[in-house]
Amino acid sequence: MKVLVTGGTGLVGNGIKAISCNHQHTFVFMSSRDCDLTDLESANTYFDELRPDYVIHCAANVGGLFKNMNSKVEMLEINLMMNYNIVKLSHRYNVKKLICILSTCIFPDDTSYPIDETMLHNGPPHNSNNAYAYAKRLMETHANAYNEQHNTSFVCVIPTNIYGKHDNFDLQNGHVIPSLIHKCYVAKETDDDFVICGSGAPLRQFIYNVDLAKLIMFVLDDYHDTSPIILSVDEEDEISIKHVGKLIAKAFDYESRIMFDTNYSDGQFKKTASNKKLRQHLPNFTFTKIESGLEETIRWFKDNYDSVRK
């Protein structure tokens, strides 16, 4: 079967590429250079030529807390256009299964914990990332509408915070782990303090991109349902940003220079997600420990510093 992976050169796309040899599919890893997914005509031409059997939709306009706060128009519009086109064309070209990637950050801000798949639309998301969140929620609504009306197999997966090799290590707009890795690297190179924005108190569940890729392939091949499923590490693996910062500093041998700038917003305090539904299918799945995942990611970042996205 031919599997189109949008965002094929990004964090999740590269995770899938790393394990693709373990699966009996032909994978096409598409980047923005191959097709502008915000343009329906261009995307239609690409689908018409490729005729994929499956689509894993990883492409998105993403970023960390401050990008979400400062670029809300772009976060909303670009994601709305891409998601609309992918869902529509997956139906038009009779894709057997479409997997849409959501995020636990789109769940309601005012909620009970742990969050589960039934709670996605139970209230507004946190104001810091509401533009991105609503674009993702609408993709789930769009996909489900096709499932109900046209009996398609469009399924949304909901990962927690993703990190790993091939991430975007942008100091301002990257997600927390890649930004902190780059920031610590620069701080050590310039003999400056390693400054973490905020108090470090917020809690997060982090999933290594290769682990996520394995779970996405499980959904593609063996999850015979169209209801959303959270792809997350266990609840007890939730850790604070402060802990993550210390692990990163330790990997750089720079623990003595950590500082926290509380003039910056912490964003949402916690987003604890339940992976009970996932564990019903994969009770013995072993996640990469955060210490090991960070070591691999930091080693890769150092070895490829001149060419990484930053």
User: Could you read off the pLDDT of 148-165 as tens digits, one per residue?
Assistant: 999 999 999 999 999 999
pLDDT at 266: 76
Say whether 213 sits in a helix, a strand or coil.
helix
Reported residue count of the chain is 310
The answer, yes or no, to whether residue 219 has pLDDT greater than 90, is yes
pLDDT at 234: 95
pLDDT at 172: 81
If one compares 43 and 67, the residue with the highest pLDDT of the two is: 43
- Residues designated catalytic: 132
Q: What are residue 209's phi and psi, to 5 degrees?
A: -60, -30
Q: How far apart are CA 58 and CA 32, in angstroms?
A: 12
238 token code pair: 């939730």
Q: How far apart are CA 54 and CA 98, in angstroms?
A: 6
The 10s digit of each residue's pLDDT in 243-286 is 999 999 999 999 999 999 888 777 778 889 999 999 999 999 99
| pTM listed for this prediction | 0.94
Distance between first and last Cα of the chain: 35
Q: How far apart are CA 45 and CA 53, in angstroms?
A: 16
| HSE (side-chain half, CA atoms, 13 Å) at 216 | 34
pLDDT at 188: 94
Question: How distant, in Å, are the alpha carbons of 124, 197, 233, 259 from that of 193?
Answer: 37, 12, 31, 7
For residue 274, is it left (φ>0), alpha (ψ between -120 and 50) or beta?
beta
Q: In the chain, what are the domains? A: 2-163+205-235 (3.40.50.720)
User: Which has the closest alpha carbon to 102: 58, 68, 61, 67?
Assistant: 58
The 10s digit of each residue's pLDDT in 40-65 is 999 999 999 999 999 999 999 887 77
For residue 192, is it left (φ>0), alpha (ψ between -120 and 50) or beta?
beta
